[in-house]
């Protein structure tokens, strides 16, 4: 079955929960997010699913890896699906601009579950998401990768990414050297 991007729903939620329970986290900077999301789902699954589609930034602030909080940007998450849950990809943006606040590393973040890696899912998911970014009026998107994340770098390059440069992440994100890419839309 080909890979698709699906809007999170109660019908697909069991696959997402199973991935969280197997140790996968949708946040590669804060592994604790998996447990936090399992708690949110247990408390109110409908509210959790609804929170993943927030194009008007109505939800509360976002907690950064260092514990500080910042205002939420508009955004949404889509689940990678090949007949089963494969991972997630999200888009966030600043209304009226293709630029981002300094605390936001990129427009797009994604993660494939370990048991589905190496099948080109991140590359395909990114290709499917780019038209949705264009629909939001973005002229370009930025993505960042760790220096040692060659698989992610290949996914970005395969989708027209151009290396903008190397930079040190803000302290809130651990301060590590990373790479920043730009994809023109």
- For 46-73, what is each residue's pLDDT tens digit? 999 999 999 999 988 887 777 788 889 9
* Residue whose entry in the numeric block shows the structure tokens 């930079």: 167
Enter the pTM of the model. Answer: 0.93
Number of structural domains the chain divides into: 1
For position 131, which CATH number holds? Answer: 3.40.630.30
* Residue whose entry in the numeric block shows the structure tokens 């999200």: 90
The CA-to-CA distance between both ends of the chain, in Å, stands at 28
Q: pLDDT category, 79, cuts 50, 70, 90?
A: very high
Q: pLDDT category, 172, cuts 50, 70, 90?
A: confident
3-class state of residue 126 by DSSP:
helix
Mean pLDDT computed over every residue of the chain: 93
- For 14-53, what is each residue's pLDDT tens digit? 999 999 999 999 987 777 889 999 999 999 999 999 999 9
pLDDT of residue 76 exceeding 90, the answer is yes
Query: DSSP characters for 137-181?
Result: T-SEEEEEEETT-HHHHHHHHHTT-EEEEEEEPPGGGT--EEEEE
What angle do helix axes 13-21 and 33-43 make, rounded to 10 degrees?
140
What residues does 116 pair with on adjacent strands? none
Average pLDDT, integer, range 98-112: 93
Q: Which domain holds residue 153?
A: 4-184
pLDDT of residue 168 exceeding 80, the answer is yes
- State the Cα–Cα distance between residues 43 and 40, nearest whole angstrom: 5
Beta strands in 30-161 (DSSP E): 53-54, 62-63, 69-70, 75-81, 85-92, 108-112, 140-146
Take residue 172 and report the two structure tokens written for it: 């809130």
3-class state of residue 65 by DSSP:
coil
Are 69 and 59 in contact by the 8 Å Cβ rule? The answer is no
């Amino acid at each position: 079955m080909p890979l698709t991007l699906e809007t999170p729903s109660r019908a697909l939620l069991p696959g997402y929960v199973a991935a969280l329970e197997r140790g996968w986290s949708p946040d590669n900077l804060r592994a604790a997010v998996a447990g936090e999301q399992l708690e949110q789902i247990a408390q109110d699954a409908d509210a959790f699913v609804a929170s993943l589609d927030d194009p008007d930034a109505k939800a509360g602030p976002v907690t950064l890896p260092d514990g500080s909080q910042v205002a939420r940007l508009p955004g949404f998450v889509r689940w990678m699906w090949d007949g089963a849950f494969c991972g997630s990809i999200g888009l966030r943006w600043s209304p009226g601009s293709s630029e981002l606040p300094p605390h936001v590393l990129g427009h797009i973040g994604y993660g494939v579950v370990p048991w589905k890696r190496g099948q080109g899912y991140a590359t395909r998911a990114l290709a499917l998401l780019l038209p949705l970014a264009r629909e939001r009026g973005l002229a370009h998107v930025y993505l960042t990768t760790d220096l040692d994340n060659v698989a992610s770098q290949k996914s970005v390059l395969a989708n027209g990414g151009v290396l903008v440069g190397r930079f040190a992440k803000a302290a809130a994100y651990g301060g590590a050297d990373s790479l920043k890419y730009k994809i023109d839309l």
